[in-house]
Amino acid sequence: MADNRAIGVFDSGIGGLTVLREIISAVPGESTIYFGDDGRAPYGTKSHDTIIKYSLQDMSFLKEQDVKMIVIACNTASTHAYEALSKVCDVPVVEVVNPGAKAAVESTRNGRIGIIATRATISSGVYESAVRKFGKDIPDLKVVSQACPLFVSLAEEGWWDDEVTRLTAQRYLAPLKEAGVDTVVLACTHYPLLASTISKVMGPDVTLINSGIAVASVVKDILKSEDILSDGKNTTRHFYTSDDPMLFEQVAAPFLGSGLPKGTRRVQVDKYDVKEFLC
């Protein structure tokens, strides 16, 4: 029997819409509920404990909407909070790190992989470990990790193909170029928007991995293997934010395209008491 409950997707803000976009394209008949925690973003500068607490609250809100699956679209939340969420959640939880790391290992030809992300993601070391796990058979595998915190603001500012962004990228990406990486994982929700500039700086022979595409394919596989596909009728798209819905829609539109998001509602996400889940 079809399961027409929605897929819940959350991020620290609007960046996760780049993942939602890929999910909609991979499984267009599935309803989705997106929550962006704009009121408390960014997560990339927060501590481990705070990221876990916020992510548990985001999950609690989505669970209340009776979703059939939760996608942690945020790389920072995936690296810090996936374990905590998957322990307490009774529906499948999908994170973005492993799909992105696997795609990078499958793509590299010279065994040199770059990871770019927020400070919190890079300092967790989780992404690098995932790449090393999938690439354990690659001789002399080299992984270069680089935090690029300013990229988030540049993406939100809409400076996707801009001189300032190019100069910033040149500075951040210098160690990756020096190491001769042939594959770069865009391990932050916002970075796919800067792909054109990043690609110009890295050069035409470097492959950029947009983990959103890999995540969408994992979502599709789990829907099939768990037998929770919808019948594709009455598909809905709902959007929630913890900040001003008008602001959310203004900044979010270019992330999603095709006239969305619409009808965004505000949620007070800090009302969810998650103390019992915290160590």
Chain residues in the site for ligand DGL (CB under 6 A): 11-13, 15, 41-44, 74-76, 118, 121, 152, 188-190
- Contact between residue 214 and residue 100 where contact means Cβ atoms under 8 Å apart: yes
Smallest distance from ligand DGL to CB 11, Å: 5
Distance CA 74, CA 157 (A): 19
Of the pair 60, 76, the CB lying nearest ligand DGL is at 76
Q: Which of 89, 148, 188, 279 is catalytic?
A: 188
Distance CA 153, CA 169 (A): 13
Distance CA 1, CA 214 (A): 27
Smallest distance from ligand DGL to CB 98, Å: 15
Which amino acid does the sequence have at 45?
T
Distance CA 76, CA 74 (A): 5
Of the pair 52, 74, the CB lying nearest ligand DGL is at 74
Instruction: Please name the helix (run of DSSP H) or strand (run of DSSP E) that holds residue 213, with its range, or none.
Output: helix 211-225
Strand ranges, E, within 25-68: 32-36
- Contact between residue 39 and residue 241 where contact means Cβ atoms under 8 Å apart: yes
Which amino acid does the sequence have at 128?
E
The verdict on whether 148 is a catalytic residue reads: no
Of the pair 46, 228, the CB lying nearest ligand DGL is at 46
- Contact between residue 257 and residue 64 where contact means Cβ atoms under 8 Å apart: no
**What phi and psi values does residue 142 have, to the nearest 5 degrees?**
-120, 130
Of the pair 18, 183, the CB lying nearest ligand DGL is at 18
Smallest distance from ligand DGL to CB 48, Å: 14
Q: What DSSP assignment string belongs to 119-163?
A: HHHHHH-HHHHHHHHHTTTSTT-EEEEEE-THHHHHHHTT-TT-H
The verdict on whether 188 is a catalytic residue reads: yes
Give me the residue whose beta carbon is nearest to ligand DGL. 44
Of the pair 190, 228, the CB lying nearest ligand DGL is at 190
Smallest distance from ligand DGL to CB 144, Å: 18
Q: Read off the tokens for 46.
A: 């927060």
Of the pair 97, 228, the CB lying nearest ligand DGL is at 97
Q: Which of 74, 89, 148, 279 is catalytic?
A: 74
Smallest distance from ligand DGL to CB 152, Å: 5
* Gyration radius (Cα) of the chain, Å: 18
Active site residues: 74, 188
